[in-house]
Structure 1
């Protein structure tokens, strides 16, 4: 079982959204990491067969997916960033409708829908209209439809958007179990969603795959580049001007411990820290660091990771 992308490119007018991407995806959970606008969704849509590459080819077990046609759709599950539904659909109506579109047998699909309603904690809302559900519950309904046909290839675009922390943990555990002998590709900019469950990660930037590897392999590239220091709270603004601060933590004595990235320690009191996958992400996407700092400065009290 192997999904291969060979020199795949896609442009929209003068914008090259995906630029000469080659990737060999084998069974297990894969993370596709990148900032918004990196080209992840366009790449996902080509893998799903919704868009055709301008250049290159995508194959499954050596056969082009556009040649496989219906046979490919039968073994494929896809959760886009936004999925459509009729306003009058209840959760059960929608899943039954999607099961019919996928050509699933009624008896089998009823059992599978019941199983997914329970697994994704949707049983209590199965007769509610989707339009009246919270964002997190709508996302769970989308996840359920992607799993209906027990696909060999499951593609999930920002799957945990709107889920609370407990739901995200349960979802990650579900995917880990599901991916035992299947290909699961998760596109996300939320690093913890793939840090512990992904067998391998690909990092996408400006339409290109710029890094691939297991989480330990990628994290190793940040060794000697992550530091911390305890500073007075009043000095934070000065430190922000000269350091790439990625995390802040309030201390009981009123000081702040900062975690920053750099090629070398910038101050005498800096301590080298064990790197994480998030550190690599913020190193490769420095434009996200400013947003992180603003968000954390708005947090009052408690721990700032």
Structure 2
């Protein structure tokens, strides 16, 4: 199975959100990395056949997804950043409603819903109204609705927003297992959520795909840019101005260990260290330094 995106562009009046993107998605977990405004959501909405491209095409095994229509939608699951629901719906009501919209056979609906409620730890709240759930629980309900039809292609836009660390671990394990013989595309700011489970990652900036590769291949782009050192705590204000610090830890005895990005060592005791995917993200998107996973 191949989802082939060829020369895809989308313009909105005087703005081009996606610019001549070409990408071939194969089974496995794909990470889509990029800062706010990079064009990720617009690209995903076109893959979901919700938004028509200005130019270019998307083919599933050589067939236009637009021409496939319902056949494509039956294979597809989508979690947008925000999903709608009637305020009176309980979790169970909502999932039954979505299952009916997706033409999930009635004989399979209850079993599938019960399985997803268990997997996503929602069984205890199945009779609660969705509107009264916490942000993390609502997100899990969104994940459940995207998977009701057992999709062969699953697109998820910021799926772990609002999930606590334990929920994110369970989500990663679930998606890693689910992706066997399926295409799963995940857009996220929380780089660690896809760093270890992604088959490949696509890096997107200003509407274009900068690079595509495995985590090991992509982090090489930040090789020679990541350093660690220990500095006096009372001099940290100076270092915060001079260095692009991405992590810091109080070591006691008036010492702070820092991890920073630079073209070359900026202190005498700096040690070059292997980059991680988060380092690459922050190197490519410096304006996003404040949008990092909470440690």
Superposed CA RMSD: 1.3
Partner of 1:75: 75
Partner of 1:282: 282
Alpha-carbon distance in 2 for matches of 1:281, 1:211: 12
Partner of 2:231: 231
Partner of 2:53: 53
Partner of 1:254: 254
Alpha-carbon distance in 1 for matches of 2:288, 2:146: 30
Partner of 1:301: none
Following superposition, the deviation at residue 254 of structure 1 comes to: 2.9
Alpha-carbon distance in 1 for matches of 2:33, 2:26: 17
Alpha-carbon distance in 2 for matches of 1:149, 1:288: 35
Q: Which residues of 2 match residues 1-305 of structure 1 at below 5 A?
A: 1-289=1-289, 291=290
Following superposition, the deviation at residue 245 of structure 1 comes to: 1.1
Following superposition, the deviation at residue 250 of structure 1 comes to: 1.1
Following superposition, the deviation at residue 26 of structure 1 comes to: 0.2
Instruction: Provide runs of 4+ in structure 1 moved above 6 Å.
Output: none
Following superposition, the deviation at residue 82 of structure 1 comes to: 0.2
Unaligned runs of 5+ in 1: 297-303
Deviations 1:174-209 (A, max 9, x none): 000000110000011110111000000001111111
Give the paired residue count: 295
Question: What TM-score do the two structures reach when normalised by structure 1?
Answer: 0.95
Following superposition, the deviation at residue 167 of structure 1 comes to: 0.2
Following superposition, the deviation at residue 240 of structure 1 comes to: 1.9
Deviations 1:144-184 (A, max 9, x none): 00010110000000000000000000000000000011000
Secondary structure of residue in 1 paired with 2:18: strand
Alpha-carbon distance in 2 for matches of 1:36, 1:49: 22
Alpha-carbon distance in 1 for matches of 2:189, 2:234: 32
Alpha-carbon distance in 1 for matches of 2:70, 2:187: 24
Unaligned runs of 5+ in 2: none
Question: What TM-score do the two structures reach when normalised by structure 2?
Answer: 0.98
Q: Which piece of structure 1 moves more, 151-160 or 105-114?
A: 105-114
Alpha-carbon distance in 1 for matches of 2:241, 2:115: 53
Following superposition, the deviation at residue 253 of structure 1 comes to: 2.0
Deviations 1:88-108 (A, max 9, x none): 000000000000000111111
